[in-house]
Chains A and B, each alone.
Chain A
Amino acid sequence: MIRGRAWKFGDDISTDHIAPGRYYHLRSNLPEFLKHVFEDADPEFSKEIMKGKSFIVVGGRNFGKGSSREHAARLIKLAGSPVVLAKSFSRIFYRNCFNIGMPALIVDTDRIGHLDELEVDLEGGKVRDLTKGVELDFEPIPEVMLKFMKEGGIVAYIKKHGDLVF
C-alpha cells in the first residue's frame, strides 16, 4: 500500500513544465535538476521537495505531453512520488513511467483535493482519498506494463528474462 499527500497540477502539464528545456545542461545531474522540477507549473512544489518532503504527483488531462525527455519521469520519481495519478497521460510519458518502475495510474483526479491524504492500492486497483473519504477505481494497468512494474522497470525485466519476450 502506498500512502502520501497529493500535490495537484492542472490539465496539459507538459514535460517542459516538469523538466524545463532551459535546464538542458542539468540532464546528467538530476539531483540539481530537481530544484527546478515543475518550476513553470508550480514553483512551490520543488521548494517543498527541497525541504525533504515528498508528495504523490496528481495531474489532470494529457499529463506529460510534449518532449520525450525521460528526465521528466525520473525527476518525479526522484522527488519521492512512487506513482503518478492523472485523468489521462501522454503516450511517451506513460511508457517512460513504467519503464523506470513508477506506475502511472489513470483515475478521475477531479475528485482528489490538493494535499489530501491518499492511499494507493496497486493490487486492488483503488485510490482512496482519506481526507475526503472517497474511493476511486483506476483504469486497469495494461498487462505489459504490469510485467515491467513487477520487476521494477523494463531494464530489470529484460535482465531477468534475457530478452524482450512476453
Chain B
Amino acid sequence: MGLTLAEKILSEKVGRRVKPGEIVVSRVDMAVAQDGTGPLTFDVIKELVGEERVFDPGKVLLTVDHTGPSPRRDLSNFQLRMRAFSKKTGAIIRDVGEGISHVLLAEDYVKPGDVVVGADSHTCTVGAMAAFATGLGSTDIAVAMVLGKIWFRVPETVKFELEGELPEGVYSKDLILSIIGRIGEDGASYKAMEYSGDGVKNLSMDARFTVSNMAHEAGGKVGLFPSDGETKKFMEENGRGRDWMPIEADGDASYYKEFRIDLTEIEPVVSYPHLPANVKPVKEAVKDGIRVDQVVIGTCTNGRLEDLEVAAKILKGRRVAKGTRLLVYPASRKIYLKAMKSGIIEALVEAGAVIGPPSCGPCVGIHLGVLGDGEVCLSTQNRNFLGRMGNPNSYIYLASPATCAASAIEGRIADPRDYL
C-alpha cells in the first residue's frame, strides 16, 4: 500500500514509514509566530528553558503582519518584543510592511517536503507547495522553536480529485468555498486534505495557495497539493529553483474519503454571515440585492498577484460605486512592487481603491477598515465570523477577488461574469 502526501512527507521527516492515527515526533523546518501570538510564545519559551533562545535562528520566523504599522501603544510594545526577541536569538524578523507570514513563507523559506508550524491557523497555506504545514497555539510553537521538533498525530487523508478547468469568471476561491459549503466547517476535522487529478495542472500556484489556505475552515490540519512544474516555476521566480523537488502521493495510497470534483461545474459563490460554510451561488446573492459598504481585496487568502490582477482587469476604466469603499492590501512587498510595475495598482487607484500596506489589513478587526454598526463588507478573506472585522454588529460576506471587484463597482454583490 502506498502513501498519501501527508504520510509521505511525515515518513521522510521521521525517518520511517508512518501510518494514520499514530503519534510521531517530527523535526521542524520552519517555526513561525506573528505579532499577535509571538509575545505569548516568548513567555512560554522563557518558562520552558529560562531564557529566550531558539534551536536554529534560520528556521525561526517572526512577522509583524497583523498590526503594522501599529495603531496603538500596547501593540507597538508587542512589536518591540518581536524585535527584541529577534535581536537576542537571531531569529528572522520580517517587519512592518513586508507582508503576511504565510505569503513570505512561500516566497522565501519553504520547500516541498518541509514540515512547517506556525502560531497562526492559516499556516496551512504553504501546503500548496507540498509542505506539511499547520497552525498551532503559542505553547506548541514555543516547543518547536526551542527543540526544533513537535509532535503530530498522523492524519488520515481526504482526497479531492479535481478534473477539468474552472470556467471563465470562476476562481479557486469559488472552488474552496464550494468544498467547505459541501462538507461543512468540520467536514475534514483533524484530517489532511489532498488535491490531485488532472485539474490540479490547471491551477496556478496563486490559485492553489487560496485553496490550501482555507483547509482550516473545513477543520483540516493541512491542505496539500503535489509539488509539480507549477511549484518549480513559482520557486524559480522567487530565486529558489534549486530547492525544488517533485513530490506526489502514491497511486495506491489509501484514503479516508474521496471526492471527485468537476471544475467545469463550479460557479462563483458567496459565503453569507457568519459562517464560511454558509455558501450560496452568487446568482442568489445578486437576487438578494445585498448592498456593500466596504469591499476588501487582500489577506493571506487572496492578496496575491493574480488576485490583484483580476481585480484590476475588472476595475480598469470603471469606478467604485458611490457610498462603497474599496480597500486593497497586497499580501507582500514583492507582490506590491510587481503590481505597481505592471500598472495594476494604478488601475485600482484610478478606480477609487485605497491601497494599504502589505499586511493582514482589516481581516482581524484590529487595524484599519473596522466596520461600523450595521455595515456590510464583502471580502476575499477566509473568515466571516461574527465580530471578525472588529464589530459584532456588522456583516461579512466572502467571495473571490473578481466577485469583490465587480461588487465594488455596483455597490452591491454582483456577478463577476458580467464584467469579463
Q: Which A residues are closer than 8 A to B by beta carbons?
A: 12, 14, 16-17, 20-22, 24-29, 39-40, 61-62, 65-71, 73, 88, 90-92, 95-96, 99-100, 142-144, 153-155, 158-159, 163-166
Contacts and interface: CB of A to CB of B under 8 A. Distances in A.
10 contacts: A14-B385, A17-B386, A21-B388, A24-B66, A68-B136, A69-B36, A70-B119, A70-B139, A90-B186, A166-B151
B272 to A, nearest CB: 14
A62 B151 CA distance: 22
Given A21-B390, A92-B135, A96-B137, A28 B74 contact: yes
Contacts of B149: 164
B366 A70 contact: no
Contacts of A69: 36-37, 137
A96 B78 CA distance: 21
B140 interface: yes
A21 B137 contact: no
Nearest to B190: A91
B281 interface: no
A92 B366 contact: no
A143 to B, nearest CB: 8
Q: How large is the interface on B (under 10, 10 to 19, 20 to 34, 35 or more residues)?
A: 35 or more
Contacts of B221: 91
B48 A158 contact: yes
B141 to A, nearest CB: 9
B86 interface: no
Nearest to A29: B74
B139 A154 contact: yes
Contacts of A61: 186
B68 to A, nearest CB: 12
Contacts of A153: 139
A71 B189 CA distance: 21
A69 to B, nearest CB: 6
Given A68-B136, A92-B135, A164-B150, A22 B23 contact: no
Contacts, number: 141
Most buried by A among B78, B137, B139, B219: B137
B138 A22 contact: no
A164 B366 contact: no
B137 A92 contact: yes
B47 interface: yes
Contact of B387 (A21, A62, A165): A21
A25 B72 CA distance: 8
Interface string B62-97: 000011000010110110000000000000000000
Nearest to B23: A144
Interface in B141-159: 142-143, 147, 149-151, 153
Contacts of A164: 25, 143, 147, 149-151
Contacts of A154: 139-140, 143
A22 B66 CA distance: 12
Contact of B189 (A29, A91, A142, A163): A91
Contact of A155 (B75, B139, B366): B139
B186 A62 contact: yes
B169 interface: no
Contacts of A165: 25
A17 B189 CA distance: 20
B411 to A, nearest CB: 26
B196 interface: no
Given A22-B390, A99-B140, A90 B219 contact: yes
B40 interface: yes
A88 B187 CA distance: 12
A88 B189 contact: yes
Contacts of B153: 142, 144
A103 B388 CA distance: 27
B265 to A, nearest CB: 28
Contacts of B254: none
Contacts of B36: 24, 27, 69
Contacts of B388: 16, 21
B386 A28 contact: no
B15 to A, nearest CB: 15
A24 B139 contact: no
B370 interface: yes
Contacts of B143: 154-155, 158, 164
* Shortest beta-carbon contacts, A-B, top 9: A70-B137, A25-B74, A96-B137, A24-B366, A21-B364, A68-B121, A99-B139, A21-B365, A40-B387
Nearest to B76: A25
Contacts of A70: 37, 40, 119, 137-139
